[in-house]
Amino acid sequence: MSHFLNINLAIINQRWPHLAELICQQDISQLEACLVEGNTQAIQVNGIQLASCYDPIAEAQLQIKQLPANCDNIHVYGIGMGDLAKQLLLQTQLQQLHIHILNIQLFALLICYSDQITWLDDNRINLHYCHHEYPQQPYLSCIADLQLADPNNYKLTDLINMELNLEAINSQHQLTNKSHQQRLQQNSEHLKNDPDIKIFIEQSKPIKQAIVIAAGPSLEQQLDFIKQQRASSFIIAVDTAMKTLTAANIKPDIIVSIDDKISNQHLATELLNNTPLLYFPRVDSELISQWQGPKFNAYGNSQFFDHIHQQYPKTRLFCNGSVIHPAVDIATRLSPKQIILIGTDFVTHTIKPMRLGKMVR
């Protein structure tokens, strides 16, 4: 047993004996760890550095400034190298600091190779092996621990990551976003001249069965089923599913595209000639111009589209961030007796890649 583990574990055993017992059960040899040198030292685990080697104290202080003023009860998810906990304990108003371990094996390695006595021995510290589903407010987090979290903490860490990125995500959907304003201007003639999706919907009625196809990993398992149902079904496919569908020689009745990141390379194939396309105003202008088939447009139901709707009134389809939403909305407006969803994977137990990007877990 290492010197650091002895002194750290003695305090943990005295204050949180159930955690000490759990720590002693861990096999840290399963982790690929090494020491990284810089202005300071940090441990790297499985290729992820637990803290900065540049100026970890200044970075911890920068994080602390994000907290509401005069917080006296704070939660921290993850530990890093312990710098955030140490700096928080310097806050004179602090009464309780809850440190939540996200990976017990990682924590066992940390206390084996570094001195964490400064914060472990402080009476204001409450140490937990985290099993929260939602982060407790107010809180801070250590990014490395979020990436190395135990599987039972994936939901929690996903929510924290989402909250950390929320401002950046929302900035991509602001009315003042210059790139979006430019795209709306580029597509104004298309919006003016191409027909509303409601025309396509009225022309397509009546239908008995609609199949909405998205790009989830389960799509590949259902290709034979789609072929069997093709003659009796109206198929609505999202743009990211098209590579899989065209590889299987399946042609939908309409393709739905709403994102500015989709380009001709996702949909360029002769099989799709004369296939109708529904597009939103932010879709790539070149894709719209070069589309070899009927084109229809619509808007989402967010405030972002209110101004352009006043200029060129169009049908407003439900959309809350996913191209699946307007695809399903179209299906419901066609009034079929049955709607089948394929590839709309709300969760997956595999690490099978999505059509664009990769599943994290």
pLDDT tens digits for range 97-130: 999 999 999 999 999 999 999 999 999 999 999 7
Residue 354: inside a domain: no
Same domain assignment for residues 77 and 13: yes
Same domain assignment for residues 196 and 127: no
Contacts of 168 (CB under 8 A, 6+ apart): none
Residue 353: inside a domain: no
CA angle centred on 117, ends 113 and 123, rounded to 5°: 150
Predicted local distance difference test score (pLDDT) of residue 6: 94
Same domain assignment for residues 51 and 189: no
Same domain assignment for residues 42 and 189: no
Q: pLDDT tens digits, residue range 54-95?
A: 999 999 999 999 999 889 999 999 999 999 999 999 998 999
Residue 78: inside a domain: yes
Same domain assignment for residues 156 and 192: no
Evaluate if residue 279 carries a pLDDT over 80: yes
Contacts of 125 (CB under 8 A, 6+ apart): 85, 89, 97, 99, 119
Average pLDDT over residues 259-288: 88
Cα atoms in the 13 Å half-sphere on the side-chain side of 201:
19
The band of 176, judged by pLDDT with boundaries at 50, 70 and 90, is low
Secondary element (H or E) of residue 167 = helix 154-171
* First-last CA distance in the chain: 34
The band of 358, judged by pLDDT with boundaries at 50, 70 and 90, is very low
Same domain assignment for residues 151 and 190: no
Q: Among 169-173, 270-274, 275-279, 312-316, where is mean pLDDT lowest?
A: 169-173
| Domain extent at residue 59 | 3-171
Number of domains the chain is built from = 2
Q: Among 191-200, 242-251, 288-297, 343-352, where is mean pLDDT lowest?
A: 343-352
Same domain assignment for residues 215 and 165: no
Same domain assignment for residues 116 and 244: no
Report residue 30 as tokens.
């399963």
Grouping H, G, I as helix, E, B as strand and the rest as coil, residue 207 is coil
Task: Kindly tell me the burial class for residue 337, based on how many C-beta atoms sit within 10 Å of its own C-beta (0-12, 13-18, 19 or more).
Answer: exposed
Predicted local distance difference test score (pLDDT) of residue 353: 45
Residue 54: inside a domain: yes
Cα–Cα distance for residue pair 194/16, rounded to 1 Å: 67
Cα–Cα distance for residue pair 37/104, rounded to 1 Å: 25
Average pLDDT over residues 296-322: 93
Predicted local distance difference test score (pLDDT) of residue 179: 78
More confident residue, 119 or 172: 119
Same domain assignment for residues 328 and 309: yes
The band of 347, judged by pLDDT with boundaries at 50, 70 and 90, is low
Question: What global pTM score does this model have?
Answer: 0.65
Final residue belonging to a domain, choices 120, 144, 171: 171
Evaluate if residue 357 carries a pLDDT over 80: no
Same domain assignment for residues 207 and 139: no
Task: Kindly tell me the burial class for residue 352, based on how many C-beta atoms sit within 10 Å of its own C-beta (0-12, 13-18, 19 or more).
Answer: middle
Give me the percent of the chain exceeding a pLDDT of 70. Answer: 93
Q: Among 9-23, 190-204, 243-257, 347-361, where is mean pLDDT lowest?
A: 347-361
Same domain assignment for residues 202 and 221: yes
- Phi, psi for 160 (deg, rounded to 5): -65, -45
Predicted local distance difference test score (pLDDT) of residue 172: 67
